[in-house]
Amino acid sequence: MFANAKNDYARKTMLKKLTPMDDRLFTALVLSIIAVTVTLSAIFTRFDNLHADLGRYLSASPAPADIVIVAIDEQSLSEIGRWPWSRNLHASLIHKLQAEQAKVIGFDVIFSEPDHVEPEADAALAQAIKQAGNVVLPMVLEVPYMGAPVKLTEPIAPLLEAAAGLGRVHVPLDVDGIARSIYLWEGIRGSGLRVDDLRRHFSQAVLGVAGQLPNNIANAPPQIKPSAANATLLQVNKTLLSLDKRRVKFLGPPGHFQRVSYQQVLNGQYPAHFFKDKIVIVGATAAGLGDALPTPVSALSQPMPGVEFHANAIAGMRSENLIRHVPIWFSCILLVVLSVLPLLFLPRLSPFKALCLVATYYLMVTFLAIALPQYVNLWVPPAGALVAILLTYPIWSWRKLESAQVYLDNALKELQAELGQLGVEKANLESIQARDEMQSRITKVEITSQFLRESQQKRLDTLAFISHDIRAPLASAIMQLEEAETETSNKPAVRVTQMLNRALNMADEFLQSSRAEMVDASKFSDIQVNGLLQEALDDAYTLAQTNHIKLNANLSDAPMWIKGNYGLLQRAIANILSNAIKYSQPNTAVQVMLTKVDDEMVLKITDTGPGIPPEKISKLFKRFSRVEGEYQLPVGTGLGLYFVDVTIQKHHGRIFVESMLHEGTTFTIKLPLVAIAFEA
């Protein structure tokens, strides 16, 4: 018994070490590290951008009617002549647009050098810009080559002074060479650890002059204090400082915005008042002339003119639809949460259902990554979470397999020790060595299972031996002794008879307990409870009469049906009835009550015996356990109530004991009822 207790303790200790919670915590830690590492290293930036680009299918919408591009296109070059054109033509264009009352005119053309052929044209253009009062000119901040100082290109002084606004037209390219974003502010970090003239973007300048700049877009540059750690770099070389990156939500492919040819505007070939109160952007669309940008909606085969990129930026900024980048720390937290969320459900699912769950969850997070920028205007790089989710099932399966192997190895070691005590050679299990370790374990389990099946058969054979080869001789010997007692009044024969009766009772109760333990629930049949209980009462009637006890039965008339083994249940109830009769005081009554409560039958049997102390009740249903003292009859095996408890549990029921000293004991049995359909 001590060895069994020790093995039980070891098994419980091992199970505590291999809990699903430990596997979940380990898997969550690994997935979190993967998600954070992928996010911080940005090694899957192209994968992130792919999800951002797919969002264009969710956000395509008509271009605003009040944004017009005046295109320096092939038709204009054909009629006007090769580029560059006289700045008198640009002055004429501005006069035309001013007369049409355009709200703002954004010129995406760099006038960085004076016109040496027609010097007076610079003055004419400056005069036209000043007279219009709503012209925005571009400037460029660029690094000519790797490691070079930042180069600032601005319009010539007369045009700069006349312009109503000035903005950068620089568009950064992502690592895959695609233009998706703009910086609201850029400037040159110079010596002295200060920021020299943070410049706003061209789209900000255009909307600022038009009076349509949203409140959430700062019109004043932020205050930047470079750290002392960069002092050497800043004093040696001028570097580009870029702030507040926003992604552009493109409204459509190249050509999506309204275009009017430059020469058509000069010739007046447009409807009257067409440009009234509109944002007009002038820029090159002819191939090889202007800045052509590869964008998510154009691809490399059809680049988008820079002027149309700015039109998209203006439309997005005005409608407050530029996409913000979520801070990196918040992105990491969000991606970690998304990565470990499936672990809340995986332990409850079968392997196939878990795989389906992970696949479905991956698609959901993918859709969330695509939809979030389009509907909430927030960008979170999803690669960290998506990579972690893809690895969730393999890592979780590995952890469960590892735990199963550890548990199996420990269980096999315990079985080897236990089976060795039962005669199995330990070497038979240890000698099995396959190239596949898992196959080796499976083989060992098969051998162990075979031995257990053989042990079970031996147990059945033992029960058969007890039921026939032991009980039959005992019963025969008792009969012969009883005859001898009658004839000779032999007192020794009486004592031998009592001992044999006790041995026979013990063998019988052991047999019944073993049958209850081994009963097959799949072979249960429908039993009418009322009839079963009435038969048990009839069997107990003779014993009650002998002990001068009345049986007061209060049985419900409603038919009650249960699934069970008739013989086991009848004997279990008979055991409780016989105990109640034996322990009750003479000339009293045992109360038997059968009722239906919800979907259960409730049977209560109450005696008038001495009662059981509360601290002794827990021993009632233990095997070979008896309550000592005045509360226990001098004879018994300690298997009667154990048999009752096993039988009730096998029938998915419950048994309760209520007792008060010197006032009796009540046994309550609850069994689930079943519905029986009778054929008409």
Query: In this predicted structure, what is the pLDDT of residue 464?
Result: 57
Q: Which phi-psi region, left, alpha or beta, contains residue 563 (left: φ > 0; alpha: ψ -120 to 50)? A: beta
CB atoms inside a 10 Å sphere around CB 465: 11
Residues 6+ apart with CB under 8 A from 208: 165, 200, 219
* Integer Cα distance of 304 and 321 in angstroms: 20
Question: 12 is written with which tokens?
Answer: 């419980």
Residue 660 Cα distances to 607, 608, 630, 665, 667, angstroms:
11, 10, 14, 7, 12
Write the burial class of residue 154 (CB in 10 Å: 0-12 exposed, 13-18 middle, 19+ buried): middle
Question: 541 is written with which tokens?
Answer: 């009637």
Residue matched to tokens 């409140």: 215
Question: 24 is written with which tokens?
Answer: 């979940």
pLDDT, one tens digit per residue, over 10-35 is 444 444 444 556 788 889 999 999 99
* Integer Cα distance of 115 and 40 in angstroms: 50
Query: In this predicted structure, what is the pLDDT of residue 647?
Result: 86
Give the CA angle between residues 645, 651, 653 to the nearest 5°: 65
Query: In this predicted structure, what is the pLDDT of residue 382?
Result: 93
Averaged pLDDT score across all residues of the chain: 80
Query: In this predicted structure, what is the pLDDT of residue 234?
Result: 38
Q: Where in the chain is the domain with CATH 3.30.565.10?
A: 520-672
Query: In this predicted structure, what is the pLDDT of residue 126?
Result: 93
> Hey, what amino acid is at 126?
A
Residues 6+ apart with CB under 8 A from 234: 189, 190, 191, 192, 193, 226
State whether residue 454 is helix, strand or coil.
helix
> Hey, what amino acid is at 459?
R
Q: For domain 520-672, give the CATH superfamily.
A: Histidine kinase-like ATPase, C-terminal domain (3.30.565.10)
- Per-residue burial over 553-575, b if 16 or more Cβ lie within 10 Å, else e, is eebeeeebebbbbeebbbbbbbb
Torsions phi, psi for 119 (to 5 deg): -60, -35
Stretches where the chain sits below pLDDT 50 are: 1-18, 191-194, 226-236, 427, 629-634, 679-680
pTM for the whole structure: 0.64
Residue matched to tokens 């070389």: 237
pLDDT, one tens digit per residue, over 33-65 is 999 999 999 899 889 888 888 887 777 789 999
